[in-house]
Structure 1
Amino acid sequence: MQARRIMGCWRKIQSSGWIFPTLILCMYGFFVMMRPSEPFLTPYLTGPDKNLTIEEVTQKVFPVWTYSYLALLLPVFLLTDYVRYKPVIIIQGISLIITWLLLLFAHGVQAMQLVEFTYGMVTATEVAYYAYIYSVVSVDHYQKVTSYCRSITLVSTTAASLLGQLLVSLAHVSYFYLNAISLASVSMAFISSCFLPMPQKSMFFHKKSSPEVSIGPTDKNPSDTSNQPNYQQGKDVRRSSENSQKTHQLFKNQDPKHFLAVLVQLCKDLKECYTTKKLLYWSIWWALATAGFNQILNYVQVLWDDKAPSHSSAVYNGAVEAIATFLSSITSLAVGYVKLNWDLTGELALGIFSALDAGSLFLMHFTGNIWACYAAYVVFKACYMLLITIATFQIAVSLSMERYALMFGFNNFVALLIQTLLTVMVVDSTGLGLDIGTQFLIYGSYFAAIAGIFLIRSLYTIISIKCQTNIAGNPRTNEAEDQNINGYATRL
C-alpha cells in the first residue's frame, strides 16, 4: 500500500511539468557543489600527496584554469544552447569525474595542469545548469525555480566546507579521502543528470515563436502622447515583438548555412543592449569586479598558506569558506528587501563597497595575522556578492530572458579576458611572476581603481540630477531666463 502511494506521488511529480525537472536539477546542483576537498586544494597539492612547491602551484598550475576557461567559454556558450543544455550538463558531470580522478591518482606538474584544464571545462559549462530550467518550465515559475536552484548550491557549498573542516580538525582525515568523498559526490551528480528531461526548445537556436503582443489603447492613436510613459512602453514592446519575430525567422531554419546569420542577429541584439548607458555602466562594473573576484578565489589559498604554512599550522580554510558563503547568501537575500532609488544610488553603492573590497585586500597583504586575513576574505566575498546581486537584477529588469542570458555570457567573457591579462602580467612566470603577497597588493590597487571610477561617476550623476531637479522646480528662474533671452533678442 505504501509503495503504491509513493509511486502515485512520483507519477504526479513527473506529470506536473516543472516540479520533476526542478527536483532533478536541484539534486544535481547539490551533489556538484558537495566537494569538501575544495577549500583544501592548495595544502593538498603542496603536501606529501602531490609534493609540489608553492611556486609551481601558483605560476604553472593555477594559471591553466584561467586560460582553458577563456578558450572554452564562448564555443561552449553557443554549443550549450544549440544542443539544448542537457548534453552539456552531462559533459560537465563527466569533466568533474575526470578532474577528481586525476586529483586522486595522477602526479606531477603536467598532470595537475591537466586537472586545471578539465576544471576549466567544468566552469565553462556552468551556464547550462542555470539556463536549462528556463527551457522546461513556464515563465510563471521562473522566480521560484531560480531561487531553488541557486539556494541549493549555496547550501551545498556551505555544508561541504563545514564537513571538510570537521573531518580535518576533529577526525584528522587526510586530504586524499576528502577528494575521494568529492569524487563520490560528483559521480552522483553525473548519474542524476541522466534523468533530466530533454528540452524541446532553447533561448536562441530552438526558440519557439511567441504569440503576437497586443499593445493596447496607446497603439490606436500613436500621435497622442499625453500619457508619455505608456506610449513609450508601447513602442518598446512593439519593437521588442518585431525583433523577436525577426529573430525567430532566423532560428526557425536549422540549416547550418544560416548559423552565421544567427550569430549576426545575436551581435545586433548585444549591441542594442549596450547602447543603454545604465546597462553599460553596470556591465562595466560586472566585468571588472568579476575578473578580480575570480582571481582572488583562485589564489587566496596560496596566500593563506604563505601566512600560516599548512605543514606546520592548523588549517581552517573550510570553516572560513562556510562562513563567507553563508554571509554572502544573507547579503544577497537582503538586497531584495532594500528599497532604494538604484538609478540615483546604485553607482555610489558600487563605489563604496568596491572600496571596502580594496581595503580588505590591502589588509590581507599587510597583515601577518592569519585570522585577520580570514576575516578580510569574509568581508571581501560578502561585499562582492551583495554588489553582483544588485547588478544582476538591475540588468535583468531591463531585458528579456534571452537578452539577459546573452549579456550575462558576454559580461563573463569580458571578465575572463581581463582576468587572463592579470594572470599573464602578474602571476605567470612568463610575465612578472610576482610573489603572492605582492600580487594581493596589486589586486587591492585594482579594486581601489574600480572604486575611484564609480565614486567619481556617482558624484557626477547625483549632482547632475540635483541640478536638473532644482532648475525644473524653480519657475521664477525659468521666467527670468526667458526674459533675458527675449531682451537679448530685442536688442539684436
Structure 2
Amino acid sequence: MERFYAWFHSLLVQNSSISTSLLLILLLYSFSSQFLPIEPYLVPYLTSVKHFSNFQVTVDIYPYSVYSQLIFTLLMAPAGFYLSHKMIVALGAFGMLITYLIIWVGHSILAMQIMQITYGFGMASRLIFSAYIFLLVPEEEYQTMTSLTTTTSLLSFMLASELGQLLALEKVSFAVFFILTFISLGVCFSMTLLLPKDHSSILMYPSVTTFWSETEGWIRILKETWHGRNLRILSLWWALAYASFSLVQNYGTNLFDAIDPDSKFNGHVLAASQAAGSLGSFCAIYLEDFAIKSGMLIYVLGSAVMGVVCVFMGVSLNIWAAYLMFVMVSGIYQTLACLVSVRCGRLLSNKQFILLFSVNNFAGLLLETLLQATVELSGLSIFVQFITFSGFFFLATAIFLGLCIIDISRKRSSSALESKPEPLISEPLDL
C-alpha cells in the first residue's frame, strides 16, 4: 500500500510538499462530490415517478435552488469567518446527502422546495472547499491543487453522466441511480471528516463586531481583501465570465433542441464538455507562467474567443457545429477560471480566501440571475439569447483591453521619464 501511495503521489504531483494522504482526501472529496448518476435524470424522475408536472418542476421547484444558492453564497464568507472551514465543508456534504434523500422519499411540493434549499446550501459550501485548499497547501502549490481538484470533479461528473446514460438505455430502476448517488455522497461526507482541523478567522480579527465600522469590522476586512488594483480587475473578470458561462451551460440543450429536435447525442456532448473542461483545468498547471507573463492579455483573448463562439452558436443552424462550439467554450472557460482564481489568491494580502471566493461568485450569480430574468421577460428566441450571452464576454474583453492599453501607456510614459537626462543645475555659488 505504501508503494501505491508513493507511485500515486509522484504521478500527480512531482517535487511537491503536499502529503500523499492529504492529496488522496482532497481528490476523493472532489470526485465523490460530483459522481451523481441521478443528476441528469432528476426531471424525468420527478415527472414520471413523483408525478409532478413539468410546469411545477420548472416554476414551483427549481427556482428555489437559484435563489437559495445566491443567498448562501453570500453567507459563506461570514460562516467561514466565525466557524471552521472543515465544519462548513462537512455540513455542505451532509446537506447534499439530505437533498437526494428528500427527492427519494418526498412527495409534496413543499418537500421538493426544501430539497432545493438544501441543494443550494450544498452547492454554496463547495466555495469553502475551493478556498480551504489555499489554506491547506503552500502558495507554490495553489495552481497545482486547484487544477487537480477541478479536473477530478469534472471527470467525475462526466463519468457519472455516461454511467447514467448507460443505465437509462438498459432501463434500470431509478433506485439503482439513487443508491450509487448515496454511496458517492457518503464517501464525500466521510472525506470531510478526515480533513485537517482549522480555526475560524475570528481569531485573526477579534475586534470584528460590527459591519459599518471603518476601523474595526467588515468594511475594513473588505477593503483589505480587495486592496490591490489587479485583484479588483481580475475579480471583475471572474464575475463576468462566471455569469456568461453559466448561462451558456444552462441553455445549451435548449439550443440543441431548437436546431435539431431529433438529436440523440445531447448527453454525450455534455459529457464531452466536461472532459474538455477537465483537460483545460489540468493544462492550467502548465500555463500559469505564461499567464503571469502575459498579464491581462490571456484573459482578453480568452473572453474574445468565447464571445465569438457564442455568436456563432446563435447564428449557426448546424447541430455538429453547435456541439463543437459548446465543448470549446467549456474548455476555454475552465482553463481561465483555474488561472484567475489562483492568481487572485496569490494577490490576496490578508489570506481571506473564502471572502474572495464568496463575493466574486455571488457577483457572478447575481449577474447571471439578472441577465436570465431579463432574457426570459424579453421573450427572445434561443438563438438571439446566445448572441446576448456573448455580450458579457465582449464586455470583459473591452474592459481588459482598455486596461491593457492604459498599462502600456503608463509604462511607456514612465520609461520616457526615466530615460530623459536630468537638467544641469546652474545656481550661483554662495561665497
More displaced 10-residue stretch of structure 1: 368-377 or 147-156: 147-156
Deviation at 1:259, TM superposition (A): 8.9
> Out of 374, 393, 400, which is 2:323 matched to?
374
Seen in structure 2, the aligned counterparts of structure 1 residues 297 and 65 have a Cα distance that, compared at 3 Å, is farther
Does residue 322 in structure 1 map to residue 271 in structure 2?
A: yes
| 1:299 maps to which of 241, 248, 251 | 251
1:279, CA displacement in angstroms?
1.5
Out of 384, 388, 391, the residue aligned to residue 442 of structure 1 is 388
Aligned to 1:187: 186
The superposition leaves residues 424-461 of structure 1 with CA deviations (integer Å, 9 ceiling, x where unpaired) of 3223xxx4465544433321233223223323333343
Larger radius of gyration: 1
Q: Answer yes or no: is the 8 Å Cα contact 2:47–2:53 preserved in 1.
A: yes
Name the residue aligned to 2:70. Answer: 70
Shift of 1:282: 0.9
Contact 1:94–1:190 at 8 Å: present in 2 too? yes
* 1:36–1:30 CA distance, 2 compared to 1 (3 A): same
Moved over 6 A (4+): 46-49, 136-144, 258-263
Q: 2:354 aligns with which of 405, 416, 431?
A: 405
1:35–1:182 contact (8 Å) kept in structure 2: yes
Residues 1:145 and 1:197: Cα distance change in structure 2 (over 3 Å): same
Distance 1:304 1:50, change over 3 A: farther
Q: What TM-score does the superposition give when structure 1 sets the normalisation length? A: 0.70
1:250 aligns with 2:249: no
Q: Note the C-alpha offset of 1:86.
A: 3.1
The corresponding residue for 1:454 is 400
Provide the residue aligned with 2:36 in structure 1. Answer: 35
Matched ranges for 1:93-492 at <5 A? 93-106=93-106, 112-132=112-132, 149-169=149-169, 171-173=170-172, 177-193=176-192, 195-196=193-194, 199-202=197-200, 204-207=201-204, 247=205, 250=207, 264-309=216-261, 313-317=263-267, 319-338=268-287, 345-400=294-349, 402-427=351-376, 431-432=377-378, 434=380, 436-466=382-412, 468-469=414-415, 471=416, 475=419, 478-479=420-421
Question: Could you give the per-residue CA deviations for residues 42-77 of structure 1, whole angstroms, max 9, x where no partner exists?
Answer: 565676765644x66555544332211122222233
Unmatched tracts of structure 1, length 5 or more: 7-16, 208-246, 252-256, 487-492
Deviations 1:224-257 (A, max 9, x none): xxxxxxxxxxxxxxxxxxxxxxx4x537xxxxx6
1:390 & 1:286 partners in 2: Cα distance?
10
Corresponding residue for residue 7 of structure 2: none
Matches within 5 A, 1:83-102: 83-102=83-102
| Whole-angstrom distance in 1 between the partners of 2:207 and 2:386 | 47
Q: 1:140 to 1:331 in 2, by over 3 A?
A: closer
The whole-number CA distance in structure 2 between the counterparts of 1:37 and 1:364 is 29
Q: CA deviation at 1:120?
A: 0.9
In 2, Cα distance between equivalents of 1:142 and 1:384: 18
Describe the shift of the 1:464–1:134 C-alpha distance in structure 2 as closer, same or farther (beyond 3 A).
closer
Measure, in 2, the Cα distance between the counterparts of 1:41 and 1:334: 32
CA distance in 2 between counterparts of 1:387 and 1:462 reads 22
Q: Residues 93 and 189 of structure 1 are in contact (CA less than 8 Å); yes or no, is this contact kept in structure 2?
A: yes
Tell me how far 1:341 sits from its aligned partner.
6.7
CA contact (8 A) 2:69 2:123 kept: yes
**Matched letter for residue 130 of structure 1:** S
Aligned length: 413
- Secondary structure, counterpart of 2:84 in structure 1: coil
State how far apart, in whole Å, the 1-side matches of 2:322 and 2:48 are.
22
- Taking a change above 3 Å as real, the CA distance of residues 467 and 192 of structure 1, as seen in their structure-2 partners, is closer
Instruction: Report deviation, 1:294.
Output: 2.4
Tell me how far apart the structure 1 counterparts of residues 393 and 58 of structure 2 sit (CA, whole Å): 21
Shift of 1:96: 1.4
Letter in 2 for 1:205: I
Task: Give the TM-score normalised by the residue count of structure 2.
Answer: 0.78
Structure 1 CA distance for aligned equivalents of residues 89 and 292 of structure 2 = 37
- Unpaired runs of 5+ in structure 2? 4-17, 427-431
Q: Any conservation in 2 of the 1:42–1:301 contact (CA below 8 Å)?
A: no
Is the CA contact 2:225–2:350 (under 8 Å) kept in the aligned structure 1? no
Please tell me whether the aligned partners of residues 52 and 109 of structure 1 are also in contact (alpha carbons under 8 angstroms).
no
Distance 2:387 2:87 in 1: 42
Aligned-residue RMSD, C-alpha: 4.0
